[in-house]
Amino acid sequence: MNAAAQSVDIHKDQIIFSEGDAGDCAYIIEKGRVLIYLTKDKEEIPLTILGEGEIFGEMALIDNQNRSASVRALEDVRLAIVTKQQVLERVSTADKVVQLLMRVLLKRLRRKNIGGPGGSRISEVEFDNSGAGDDGTQSALDQIKLENQIFQAFQNKEFELFYQPIVNLKNKTITGCEALLRWNSPQHGLVSPNLFIDIIENSSMVIPIGHWIINQALKDLRTIQDQLRLNKKERMADDFMMSINISGRQFTHSDFVNNLEDLREKHDLHTQNIKLEMTERIMMDGAIAIDALNQCRSLGYAISIDDFGTGFSGLQYLTQMPISFLKIDRSFVMKILSDPKSKAVVSSIIHLAHAMDIEVIAEGIEHHEEALVLETLGARFGQGYLFSKPVDLGRFLKLI
């Protein structure tokens, strides 16, 4: 059969493939029904009948074995061909645990078919457990263990928020801070979120952990503002902004805005002192994200786009979204002195932002010269090790 064709028409009673054939594609039934069967002593042992929308022939592609059964058209059928490449691409991009589940189910299915209605043949065709199989099982195990470990750490109260100042580049005064998650592990010490934030964001843990992060950041914002007022820095307290990183899954959760409002009221805070930081990826969540963004913005929360310039390629969303800040990613800032192209990108972002009434924050400033160039290019705010590394609340209170 020609695997390059997209669809094929098969006549009634025609055999699509036979047990033992090498498999180079799978099929989705567009029209008609097929019979899957085994042959024993020249006798057909029917296994199942499949109809429109169902897939067959995928097993041989996934587990690299020959066809384990035969397939015959029960009537005139039309089949869409799914190439081996298409199947494997999907399998390989699936979650590690889903991959493990698939392999185990396939293995069981093959055993059942082979030892099934025919009865006599034992499961001599074993699932290919070599190479990728072993690695796959190991990484699925690692992933589950890590997820459990992280959730355990959260329950053991090993998570903590650090705060990094955001400064006005002109006079270097602190105008706010960004809350950054830390895992204070008794075993490994202070662990950077780069090592575990993806795992949280890709699982349902993001909801309770995200809730905890917002509550903690808002509680600490209250403390920061109280201390500023105590020190007679009324103006600074009124303008102080707490940035909180919010992941897409957390933001598009149906209760996000209500929960945020509850926590804000609990800590007696104003929305204009709270900034929600999200990456451009949020735009991929479409209408739900736009709705939540508009709701937050109309309540007075500031919205900031994190790591700007590194992700989503379209700029269209800037015209449709109620965005108040763009954060220029560190990857541009770190090259601003040595690479004229990076400098040009930064300069363009700043112009674009200002033309749209959006403020710019430059991330990852480590050197005085970088701060100078950024300020000359028109960036108003900056954040980076030059001013301070992220520190715990106690140390942050000493900075302000």
Residues lying near ligand C2E in the complex (CB under 6 A) are found at 164, 179-181, 192-194, 197, 201, 213, 245, 247, 306-307, 330, 363-366, 383-385, 390
The interface with Mg ion within residues 360-399 (CB under 5 A) comprises: 363
Answer yes or no: is 324 a known binding residue.
no
List 70, 164, 225, 245, residue binding Mg ion (CB under 5 A): 245
Which one, of 313, 329, 221, lies nearest residue 275 by Cα? Answer: 221
* Residue 198: contacted member of ligand C2E, Mg ion, none (CB under 5 to 8 Å, by partner type): none
Q: In this chain, which stretch among 9-17, 121-129, 216-224, 244-252 interacts with Mg ion, using CB under 5 A? A: 244-252
Answer yes or no: is 363 a known binding residue.
yes
Contact indicator for 174, 400 with CB cutoff of 8 Å: yes
CB of 179 to ligand C2E, least distance (A): 6
Helix (H) or strand (E) holding 360: strand 359-362
Q: Which long-range contacts (CB under 8 A, 24 or more apart) does 365-372 make?
A: 365/333, 366/334, 367/337, 369/337, 370/333, 370/334, 370/336, 370/337, 371/169
CB of 76 to Mg ion, least distance (A): 58
CB of 390 to ligand C2E, least distance (A): 5
CA distance 166 to 144: 36
* 6 phi, psi to nearest 5 deg: -85, -35
* Residue 197: contacted member of Mg ion, ligand C2E, none (CB under 5 to 8 Å, by partner type): ligand C2E
Q: Is 277 in the site for Mg ion (CB under 5 A)?
A: yes
CB of 47 to ligand C2E, least distance (A): 47
Burial letters for 91-120: b for 16+ Cβ neighbours within 10 Å, e otherwise? beeeebeebbebbeebbeebeebbeeeeee
Q: What count of other Cβ atoms lies within 10 Å of the Cβ of residue 163?
A: 26
Q: In this chain, which stretch among 72-80, 237-245, 282-290, 337-345 interacts with Mg ion, using CB under 5 A? A: 237-245
Q: Is 220 in the site for Mg ion (CB under 5 A)?
A: no
Name which of 106 and 361 has its Cβ closer to ligand C2E: 361
* The pair of three-digit structure tokens given for residue 195, joined into one six-digit string: 């090592």
* Residue 213: contacted member of Mg ion, ligand C2E, none (CB under 5 to 8 Å, by partner type): ligand C2E
Task: For residue 312, give the 3-state DSSP assignment.
Answer: coil
Q: What count of other Cβ atoms lies within 10 Å of the Cβ of residue 213?
A: 22
Bind-site residues for Ca(2+)? 178, 245, 277, 306-307, 329, 363
List contacts with Mg ion (CB under 5 A): 245, 277, 306-307, 363
